[in-house]
Chain A
C-alpha cells in the first residue's frame, strides 16, 4: 500500500494570492448586497410615487370627481390640520382606550381557556363544538345588542372586541400549545416531570413565538372591533368621525383619519414587537441556524 504525503499542501501559511482572493469575495458580497438594497428601495419608492402621483393627477384634472376619491395633497393638508385637534386629543384617545382594554381582556380570557383546554383535554373535547358554534355567530350583528346592553360609550365597543378577538386568541393559542415536539414530550416523561411542570417547562416556552404572532393579529383586530362598533353607534371615537366625514362627503378628512389610524397601529405593533424581542432571541438564533 503506497501512501502519498499531502502534508505540504496543508501548510498554515495563507499566500498573498489566497489573501487577495478572500478580499475579492468579501468585496463581491458587499457589492451584491448593496445592489439588492438599491433595487428594493427603488421599487418601493417608485411604487408609492406612482400610486400617489396618478391619484393626484386623476383628481387634479377631474378625470374622476375629487369629492368621491379625495386628493393626496388635500389628504395631507387635512392630516396636518388634524394633529393637535379634537380628533387626536379626544376621539383617538377613546378608540385607543377601547382597543387596548378589549385586547388585554381577550388575551387573558383566550389564553386562560386555551391553557385549561390543553392541560385538561377532556374540557377541549367537551367544549370544541360549542366554541365552533359560538364563533360562527356573525359578531357584527351583535353590536346593536351590545349597544342596548352597555350604551353608546366605550363599554359596548370593548364587548364587541372581546366577543371575537377572544376566539382568535383561543384558537391560535390552542394551536401554539399543541405544537410541541414529540421528542420533547418524551423527554418530559423520561425525566419524570409532573403535568404542570411539563406545561411550564416544555409546552409554554415552545408556544411563545406562535403566541407573539397571535398577539399582533389580536391587536390589529382589536382596533378593527373598536372602530366597527363606533361606526355602528357611538358618541365619540375615530369611527364616529369617519361616519360623520363620509356623510358630509369630506373625503380628504375621511382618508386623513384612516392615515392616522394606520400610523398609530403600526407604531403600537412595532412597540409590541420590541417588547417581545427578548423572549424570542432563541428563535432568531434558530432561524439563522449558525
Chain B
C-alpha cells in the first residue's frame, strides 16, 4: 500500500502553500474526453460528454451541477464503480478500481451495517484490505477517536444519532488513510443544523489530512467552503461548463466564512453559471 507520504504540509496552511508543495506529485485525477453512456429503458442515454478535468495531488476540488447532471456518475467512474464509454480516466496514473486502497469513497447516506457495532463498521474498510484483526481494532479506534466517538465504539447503529452515524461513516472512510478522498454529497441526508456541524468537523479533520479531496455536491456553500477550486457541470449530457478558483484563506469556518463579502460574491458567481445550466423542465 503506497500512500502520498511525500505530501508534507502543515495543518491549516493557506491554499497556495499547499498547492505549491504538491505540484510535483502529479495528478490525482486525470480525465480526458471522458464520455459515459448508460442503458436506459429506451436505449442508451448519454450522461457525460467529453469531460476534461484534472485534479492535482493535494488539491481540494468540488463539482457542482444541476440535479441529475451526471456529476455523481462521474464520481462513480473515478471510484471505479462505473465504466466509461470512451476517453481516458486515470487515478494516480492508473485505471480506477474500487479495491484501490489509495481512494476512499464517502457516500451521502451512512450505510452503516446494523448488526455491527460502530467499531465493527469502521473495521469493515480494513477487512477489505486484508488488515489483520489486532491492527484493525487499533486503527478503527484511532479513527473513531478522530471523530470523537471512541466512547461509542461498542454501540449499534440504532443507538446513534443521525450526525453520529455520519461521523462513524466518515471514520470508516478515513481509517484506510486514502490519498484521494471522494465525497458524494457527503451530508445531503442530514438536517440543516447537523450539516453545518459536520462541515465544520470535516474541515477540522482535513486540517491534518495530506491527501486530495474530490467532492460532488449540490450545496454551493459546501463547495465553496471546502474547495480550492469549484467546477460547474453543465446540464446532461454533462461537460465542464466553468471552473472557479476559491481564494478564501484557510482555516475556514462553516459559520463565519459564509458571512464574508468574498464568500457572497463567489456564491453569486457560481449560482449565475449554474442557473444558466437549468433547463425549462427543471423549474
Interface positions of A (Cβ within 8 A of B): 181, 183-184, 186-187, 189-193, 197, 201-202, 205-206, 208, 282-283, 285-286, 288-290
Instruction: Determine which residue in B113, B115, B116, B156 has the highest number of CB atoms from chain A within 10 A of its CB, and name it.
Output: B115
Instruction: Annotate B112-152 by CB proximity to A: 1 below 8 A, 0 otherwise.
Output: 01111000000011011000000000000000000000000
Q: Which residues of A contact B159 (CB under 8 A)?
A: 285, 290
Q: 3 tightest CB-CB pairs across the interface, nearest first?
A: A192-B99, A183-B111, A191-B128
- Is B100 an interface residue when CB atoms closer than 8 A count as contact? yes
Q: A183-B111, A190-B105, A191-B128 are in contact. List 14 more A-B contacts (CB 8 A).
A: A183-B107, A186-B81, A186-B107, A186-B111, A191-B98, A191-B125, A192-B97, A201-B124, A201-B127, A202-B113, A205-B115, A206-B113, A208-B115, A286-B158
Q: Are B113 and A190 in contact (CB under 8 A)?
A: no
| B266 → A minimal CB distance (Å) | 27
Q: Are A187 and B107 in contact (CB under 8 A)?
A: yes
CA distance in complex: A193, B105 (Å): 14
| B98 → A minimal CB distance (Å) | 4
Interface positions of B (Cβ within 8 A of A): 79, 81, 97-100, 105, 107, 109, 111, 113-116, 124-125, 127-128, 156-159
CA distance in complex: A193, B124 (Å): 10
Q: Are B98 and A285 in contact (CB under 8 A)?
A: no
Q: Are A205 and B113 in contact (CB under 8 A)?
A: yes
In the complex formed, the residue of B with least CB distance to A286 is B158
| A212 → B minimal CB distance (Å) | 13
CB contact under 8 A between A192 and B156, given known A183-B109, A206-B115, A208-B115:
no
Q: Which residues of A contact B114 (CB under 8 A)?
A: 282-283, 286
CA distance in complex: A286, B112 (Å): 12
Q: Are A184 and B113 in contact (CB under 8 A)?
A: yes
| B103 → A minimal CB distance (Å) | 9
Q: Which residues of B contact A290 (CB under 8 A)?
A: 158-159
Q: Which residues of B contact A197 (CB under 8 A)?
A: 127-128
CB contact under 8 A between A289 and B98, given known A181-B111, A191-B124, A282-B114:
no
Q: Are B81 and A190 in contact (CB under 8 A)?
A: yes
| A251 → B minimal CB distance (Å) | 50
CA distance in complex: A282, B114 (Å): 7
Of the candidates B98, B113, B157, the one whose C-beta lies within 8 Å of that of A189 is B98
In the complex formed, the residue of B with least CB distance to A193 is B128
| B133 → A minimal CB distance (Å) | 14
CA distance in complex: A183, B105 (Å): 13
Q: Which residues of A contact B81 (CB under 8 A)?
A: 186, 189-190
CA distance in complex: A288, B114 (Å): 13
CA distance in complex: A283, B157 (Å): 10
Instruction: Determine which residue in B97, B107, B113, B125 has the highest number of CB atoms from chain A within 10 A of its CB, and name it.
Output: B113
Instruction: Determine which residue in B109, B157, B158 has the highest number of CB atoms from chain A within 10 A of its CB, and name it.
Output: B158
Q: Are B98 and A288 in contact (CB under 8 A)?
A: no
Q: Are A282 and B115 in contact (CB under 8 A)?
A: yes
| A229 → B minimal CB distance (Å) | 38
CA distance in complex: A191, B107 (Å): 11
Q: Which residues of A contact B115 (CB under 8 A)?
A: 205-206, 208, 282-283
CA distance in complex: A283, B159 (Å): 12
| A127 → B minimal CB distance (Å) | 26
CB contact under 8 A between A286 and B111, given known A192-B98, A201-B124:
no
CA distance in complex: A275, B93 (Å): 53
Q: Are B107 and A286 in contact (CB under 8 A)?
A: no
Of the candidates B111, B157, B158, the one whose C-beta lies within 8 Å of that of A187 is B111
CA distance in complex: A288, B105 (Å): 31
